[in-house]
Amino acid sequence: MAHESALEQLLGQARFIDDLPLLAGSLHAAPVCSPLAHGRLLGIDSSNALQMPGVKAFIQARDLPGPNQIANMARDEPILAQDTLSYAGQVIALVLAQSHREALAAAAKVKLEIEPLPSVLSIEQAMEHSSWITAPAMIERGQPDEAMAKAPHRVSAQRWVGGQEHFYLEGQIAYAIPEEQNAMLVHSSTQHPGEMQHWIAHALDLPAHSVRVLCRRMGGGFGGKETQSGQVAVWAAVAASLMGCPVKMRLDRDDDFKITGKRHPFRVCYEVGFDDEGTILALDAELASDCGFSADLSIPVNERALFHVDNAYYIESLRIRSYRCRTNKQSNTAFRGFGGPQGMYLIESAIGDVARYLDQDALSIRLRNVYGTAPRNITPYGMTVEDEFIGDLMRQLADDCRYKARRQTIKSQGLARGIAITPVKFGISFNATHFNQAGALLQWFTDGTLALHHGGTEMGQGLHTKIVGVVCHILGVDPTQVRVMTTDTHAIANASATAASSGSDLNGRATEIAASTLRDRLIEFWSTTVSAQVGSLRFDQGQLFWTDQEGIGRSTALTELVNKAYLARIQLWAEGFYSTPKIHFDPKTRQGRPFYYFSWGAACTEIEVDPRTGCYRMLAVDILHDVGNSLNQRIDRGQVIGGFVQGMGWLSSEELRWHDDGRLLTHAPSTYKIPTARDLPEHFEVNWWHMPNREDNLGGSKAVGEPPLMLALSVIEALRDAVGNIRFSRASSTGQEKHDGGSIVKNDTVVSSNFSAEKTPGCGDRMVHLDAPATPERVFFAIRQS
């Protein structure tokens, strides 16, 4: 099947919220934002704004119809800042005007009186002041101190990995329409309509049934519209309620950058103990993340980071501490991978260091440490890894892409290149067990067409297409006969977010149950009608086939079947509900089975670096990925490639930079570089690991939304390999051996690390300290560090 709305999108006929015709009397809202990272709001002068053309109203906190509080779990975020300003970009007020441009122009005329306050703008400052979103956490197994003390070798380091802007093509937007009986209809570009409904109802002091949220499709989400679409939806709804007319709020790209949160930046520190062969004996690590000014989803993001530090490796003794830092910046939020990429970044960096320390191929170190058979198959959180094939998958990828030969060529010819293979083990399920549920409603009309409601949202990832495929497979109908309806909180109540890579698993299984129920009901009806054995009836190609009592094959059109069922008063709609089995988790002990299964994969990346400038180009990417029995290979291939490229951008070019006063400087495409088609290599190969999901998942498939992003860890490891090769080649040619004592390059300055590499003769120039994003500037200085 092709993407269910591909043709409409190609022709420009697919409607997004900004394409909806506006009702008469609609107004546009624009935000008034704080220019300071931290301050006390003393006064607001809106007089100049109210005199601007087209302006109809000015709304601030005192005007709100309900509590000035976003109804998230922590209840630590105001709808509109009132007394204290917590970050540069925080919304203080709304200007309403007859056009979007008029509203923006008027918002710029609002004068604010602010008393500056000291701000916390970095992880270091937050750590120094014990500024936390929530208390630090830890996960521990074995005897890490004893094992570390006995380890023949130890390497320590400190690394940084930056945040990432979601850069969805469609920015944050909502259109709120007041309805009769004090109800509110809101079109929201959101991954979680149910949460939007809850937040809006709370802000307007309304019952949930009086708020209806619709989402036909999004122009991208990537986690940035899981919770942070809620503020825009609430602002539009509040304004519509106060004005008694429809209100649309669309953030300009610059405002979107400044107001909304990003992927969490992390500082990772680690000491790893290992033997002569590179087997990891102990890991003592620390994760510190910049959460921003409020909790948002930072707690579960950091929990998932803890659960993915092991990635695909068994580590017998470990201790991992997690610090969730509160700063005066945007509240960082969900982003594809949800903390998993940052956790994996730590262990992949550590294994790369071990390999360079021992002067061994990093692939051999990785293969030596991967999960295997018992007892080396238990995660630090107590879940058994039942899949035992990651080592085989990595070896097959290495053979298919000629890894050893390519690596030998680089080494023997002294090329300024690097090559790396890194694996991925990603847990599939929401951290919060109760979110792992979904519902669907399937209706069969008498003309033979079907309407499907489910709780998932389409953001370009192909969810609707996969689910149409499920219906077609079970009912034997053509895809043109099935229409997925707009996601609607009044059709499927209390739906979970389309997130955690579980959209197809949850909503697809609920749809499968609904379609199977409808099929079985019609088979029972028809078997009674024609006196046929139930087992002989099957749906296929728009027909119902059966064998009569004389053994003769018969058939009838499904449209005829549906009409006869209607005349016989047979129910022609069915609901399906699915909750993920087997999962359980104790948040206090951090033990249990938080994930239904794991998705696996591996990528090989080769990169060439110009030692004179630090600029580099990707030469080749080879991916072998585990999607089980794919529900739609074209869609899955797109997700793998897109996820890899987005991860590549996070680790190489997408750099967020702030002014010393807390203002975001990179808030437009002119200053923030996402990858383009020109950044990809000519050789980009994606192949499948052909093995069905061992769990009873939809069609034997596996999730594919988030795991491919972490395949891009091969990019930065290939860059580190290239830098190490360049430095070692230079040292060898001059007869020099240098050791940097574990220093790192940060902001073009060599900074002493808290953790020092074990001083072993000859290993100095192989130890590479390269933070992410690994911009050419950072690569340039990494080559020259001394």
Is pLDDT above 70 for 756?
no
Question: Buried b / exposed e across 300-311, counting CB within 10 Å, b at 16+?
Answer: bbbbbbbbbbbb
Tokens describing residue 146:
């004893």
Tokens describing residue 724:
């190490």
Which of these ranges, 304-318, 569-583, 750-764, has the smallest mean pLDDT?
A: 750-764
Peptide bond into 773 cis (omega under 30): yes
Whether 706 sits among the annotated catalytic residues: the reply is: yes
- Alpha helices, H only, 247-402: 253-259, 298-307, 340-358, 362-369, 390-400
Closest CA to 179 of 97, 245, 249, 96: 245
585 beta partners: 592
pLDDT bin (cut points 50, 70, 90) of residue 762 is very low
H helix or E strand, kind and range, residue 451: strand 450-454
What's the pLDDT tens digit per position in 205-235?
A: 999 999 999 999 999 999 999 999 999 999 9
pTM equals: 0.95
pLDDT bin (cut points 50, 70, 90) of residue 765 is low
Largest pairwise CA distance in the chain: 92
**Which residues are CB-neighbours of 550 under 8 A, at least 6 positions away?**
none
Exposure of 541 in the CB half-sphere (CA atoms within 13 A): 2
The residue behind tokens 């790209």 is 253
Res 731: pLDDT: 73
* Average pLDDT for 18-27: 98
What's the pLDDT tens digit per position in 243-272?
A: 999 999 999 999 999 999 999 999 999 999
How far is it, in rounded angstroms, from Cα 207 to Cα 490? Answer: 13
* Average pLDDT for 506-528: 98
Is pLDDT above 50 for 513?
yes
* Average pLDDT for 548-560: 95
What's the pLDDT tens digit per position in 63-102?
A: 999 999 999 999 999 999 999 999 999 999 999 999 999 9
Tokens describing residue 474:
């079970």
Cβ neighbour number for residue 209 with a 10 Å cutoff: 12
Phi, psi of 550 (to 5 degrees): -90, 5
In terms of pLDDT, which residue wins out, 654 or 735?
A: 654
Res 760: pLDDT: 40
CB-based contact 226:97 (threshold 8 Å)? no
Is pLDDT above 90 for 734?
no
pLDDT bin (cut points 50, 70, 90) of residue 614 is very high
Q: Are strands 39-45 and 417-428 parallel, antiparallel or unpaired?
A: unpaired
H helix or E strand, kind and range, residue 515: helix 509-530
Mean pLDDT taken over the chain: 95
Is pLDDT above 80 for 718?
yes
- Torsion sign across C-alpha atoms 31, 35, 41, 42: negative
Phi, psi of 247 (to 5 degrees): -135, 130
Is pLDDT above 80 for 530?
yes
How far is it, in rounded angstroms, from Cα 132 to Cα 401? Answer: 45
Is pLDDT above 90 for 744?
no
What's the pLDDT tens digit per position in 658-715?
A: 999 999 999 999 999 999 999 999 999 999 999 999 999 999 999 999 999 999 999 9
607 beta partners: 418, 618
Is pLDDT above 70 for 486?
yes
Phi, psi of 63 (to 5 degrees): -90, -10
pLDDT bin (cut points 50, 70, 90) of residue 651 is very high
pLDDT bin (cut points 50, 70, 90) of residue 729 is confident
How far is it, in rounded angstroms, from Cα 299 to Cα 286? Answer: 16
How far is it, in rounded angstroms, from Cα 176 to Cα 211? Answer: 10
How far is it, in rounded angstroms, from Cα 706 to Cα 687? Answer: 17
Catalytic annotation, pick one of 8, 706, 737, 777: 706
In terms of pLDDT, which residue wins out, 267 or 751?
A: 267
Is pLDDT above 80 for 737?
no
pLDDT bin (cut points 50, 70, 90) of residue 761 is very low
Res 785: pLDDT: 83
Q: Are strands 153-161 and 111-116 parallel, antiparallel or unpaired?
A: unpaired
Phi, psi of 424 (to 5 degrees): -135, 130
Is pLDDT above 70 for 203?
yes
Cβ neighbour number for residue 213 with a 10 Å cutoff: 29
CB-based contact 565:525 (threshold 8 Å)? yes
Is pLDDT above 50 for 752?
no
pLDDT bin (cut points 50, 70, 90) of residue 615 is very high
What's the pLDDT tens digit per position in 442-471?
A: 999 999 999 999 999 999 999 999 999 999
pLDDT bin (cut points 50, 70, 90) of residue 748 is very low
Res 786: pLDDT: 59
Tokens describing residue 217:
């499709």
CB-based contact 711:623 (threshold 8 Å)? yes
